[in-house]
């Protein structure tokens, strides 16, 4: 084999230089590290993670919180059951129970930076509105996560089975999915809320989850149909892997990008759905509290006491927006075709260098 006797040293470097430039950005990183790195480049998404985490902690530590045998005392002085006296003094326009929080320091003639007695004001009978909004936000966040987990799990499993086995199994599962899709979610939600609303927000969320997996399952099915044809799946089969191992060890981790992105969008949709249902009276019902319910209860007072509207509304928007942005950032991070665009700064540096060269 005289043909192949040659120095291998230089060829080794040629071997490594293949795709060298394209891989510069991902050199020496695992898949997960690449995703994390790309995600951290998405400033809005990173800010949204911060906002969501802060909001969740803030909201859940405000009131007494029970989780099984553990009991956490809230840092806020009122509970939702408390009915303190209605404040009538120092409110503009003869209103009662106006918000007391202020950002205007005392030396500028304000009330000083702080929450005051009832930061978000009081409702008709004097209940502390801050406590109510905190409770409502807790409900929204909980609904969001339960729907995400239930819908995500169902959608992934159904989509994975349909996409992997194809044929009859696929046809049956996908026709069932089509059937569920044709029923508008708001109607399903209304029926569920009507029957189970009094069982509490947890049940409502579970049932919402049972009907919100359809979009995800279709996407996961498509991803499985694509991935199962790749050669590493055949390689695993030749290695003696069972169907179960191929699905969970080989295909599912490669579909995780689609799943995570869709689930985050599903979650922000769930918040809005819960709010909408509560607003039309089929979601969470009194004495429980939810943000949608609060808005619905005080819609008459929009002109006279708009703050009863603003605060729940603000929390709905803040949570839904930040979840959406996180989903956006994750989609970019998981998309291998997504090359980082040149930022203005990059261009500036590039131009300066070009000048220096010339």
Partner 1 sequence: MAEPVLSVKDFTVEFWVDGVWYPAAVDMNFDVEAGKVTAIVGESGSGKSTTAMGIMNLLASNARTQGSVKIKGEEMIGAPASLLRKFRGKEVAYIFQEPMTALNPVYTIGFQIVETLRNHFDIGPKEARIRAIELLSMVEIPDPEKSFEKYPHQLSGGQRQRAMIAQALACDPALLVADEPTTALDVTVQAEILDLMRGLKTRLNSAILLITHAMGVVADMADDILVMKDGKVVEAGSADAIFNRPSHPYTQELLAAVPKLGHSAKRTLEFATLTKPAPVLTLENVTIEYPKRGRIPAFTAVKNFNLEIFPGEIVGLVGESGSGKTTVGRASIGLLPIKEGKLTMAGTDISHATQKELSKIRRHTGIVFQDPASSLNPRLPIGESIGEPIFLAGVAKNQELNHMVEDLLDQVELPRSYRNRYPHELSGGQRQRVGIARALALTPDLLIADEPTSALDVSVQARFLDLFQGIQEKLKFACLFISHDLAVVDILSHRVAVMQDGLLVEEGDRDAILKNPQMEYTRKLIEAVPVPDPAEQALRRAARLSKKN
Residues 202-231 that bind partner 1 (CB under 8 A): 230-231
| Pairwise CA distance, residues 137 & 56, whole Å | 8
| Pairwise CA distance, residues 6 & 29, whole Å | 33
Among 235, 280, 286, 352, binds partner 1 (CB under 8 A): 235
Q: Does 335 interact with partner 1 (rule: CB under 8 A)?
A: no
Smallest gap from residue 337 Cβ to partner 1 (A): 12
Residues 64-83 that bind partner 1 (CB under 8 A): none
Question: How wide is the angle at C-alpha 151 spanned by C-alphas 148 and 155, nearest 5°?
Answer: 130
Among 92, 103, 239, 344, binds partner 1 (CB under 8 A): 239
Stretch (H or E) spanning 148? helix 129-165
| Pairwise CA distance, residues 40 & 100, whole Å | 38
Measured from the CB atom, is 37 or 307 closer to partner 1?
Answer: 37
Among 24, 73, 175, 355, binds partner 1 (CB under 8 A): 24
- Kindly determine how many residues on this chain lie close enough to bind partner 1 according to the rule CB under 8 A: 51
Classify residue 72 by its DSSP letter: E
The one segment of 150-158, 263-271, 308-316, 340-348 that binds partner 1 by CB under 8 A: 340-348
Residues 244-283: x/- map of binding to partner 1 (CB under 8 A)?
A: -x----x--xx-----------------------------
Classify residue 85 by its DSSP letter: P
CA dist list (Å): 258 to 40, 87, 262, 331, 335: 19, 52, 6, 8, 9
Write down the residue that tokens 């069972």 correspond to.
242
Count Cβ atoms below 10 Å from residue 245 Cβ, excluding itself: 14
The one segment of 194-202, 233-241, 282-290, 319-327 that binds partner 1 by CB under 8 A: 233-241
Smallest gap from residue 122 Cβ to partner 1 (A): 54
- Cα-flanking dihedrals φ and ψ of residue 318, to 5°? -60, -45
The distance of Cα 234 from the centroid of its chain, to the nearest Å, equals 35
Smallest gap from residue 214 Cβ to partner 1 (A): 24
Residue ranges in contact with partner 1 by CB under 8 A? 1-4, 6-8, 10-11, 14-21, 23-31, 230-232, 234-241, 245, 250, 253-254, 339-342, 346, 349-350, 353-354, 357
């Amino acid at each position: 084999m005289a043909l192949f006797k040659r120095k291998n040293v230089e060829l080794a470097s040629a071997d490594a230089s293949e795709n060298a430039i394209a891989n510069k950005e991902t050199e020496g990183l695992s898949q997960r590290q690449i995703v994390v790195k790309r995600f951290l480049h998405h400033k809005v998404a990173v800010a949204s993670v911060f906002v969501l985490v802060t909001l969740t902690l803030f909201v859940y530590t405000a009131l007494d919180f029970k989780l099984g045998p553990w009991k956490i005392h809230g840092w806020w002085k009122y509970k939702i059951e408390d009915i303190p006296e209605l404040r009538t003094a120092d409110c503009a326009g003869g209103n009662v129970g106006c918000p007391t929080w202020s950002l205007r320091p005392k030396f500028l003639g304000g009330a000083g930076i702080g929450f005051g007695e009832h930061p978000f004001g009081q409702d008709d009978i004097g209940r502390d509105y801050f406590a109510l909004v905190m409770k409502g936000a807790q409900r929204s966040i909980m609904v969001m996560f339960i729907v995400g987990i239930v819908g995500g799990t169902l959608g992934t499993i159904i989509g994975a089975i349909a996409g992997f086995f194809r044929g009859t199994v696929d046809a049956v599962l996908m026709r069932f999915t089509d059937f569920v899709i044709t029923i508008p979610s708001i109607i399903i939600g209304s029926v569920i809320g009507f029957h189970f609303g009094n069982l509490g927000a947890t049940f409502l969320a579970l049932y919402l989850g049972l009907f919100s997996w359809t979009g995800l399952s279709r996407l996961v099915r498509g991803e499985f149909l694509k991935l199962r044809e790749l050669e590493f799946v055949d390689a695993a089969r030749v290695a003696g892997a069972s169907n179960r191992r191929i699905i969970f060890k080989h295909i599912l981790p490669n579909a995780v990008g689609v799943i995570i992105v869709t689930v985050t969008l599903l979650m922000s949709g769930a918040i809005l759905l819960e709010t909408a249902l509560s607003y039309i009276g089929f979601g969470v019902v009194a004495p429980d509290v939810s943000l949608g319910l609060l808005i619905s209860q005080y819609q008459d007072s929009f002109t006279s006491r708009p703050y009863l509207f603003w605060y729940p509304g603000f929390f709905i928007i803040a949570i839904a927006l930040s979840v959406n942005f996180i989903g956006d950032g994750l989609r970019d991070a998981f998309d291998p075709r997504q090359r980082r665009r040149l930022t203005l700064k990059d261009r500036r540096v590039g131009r300066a260098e070009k000048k220096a060269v010339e």
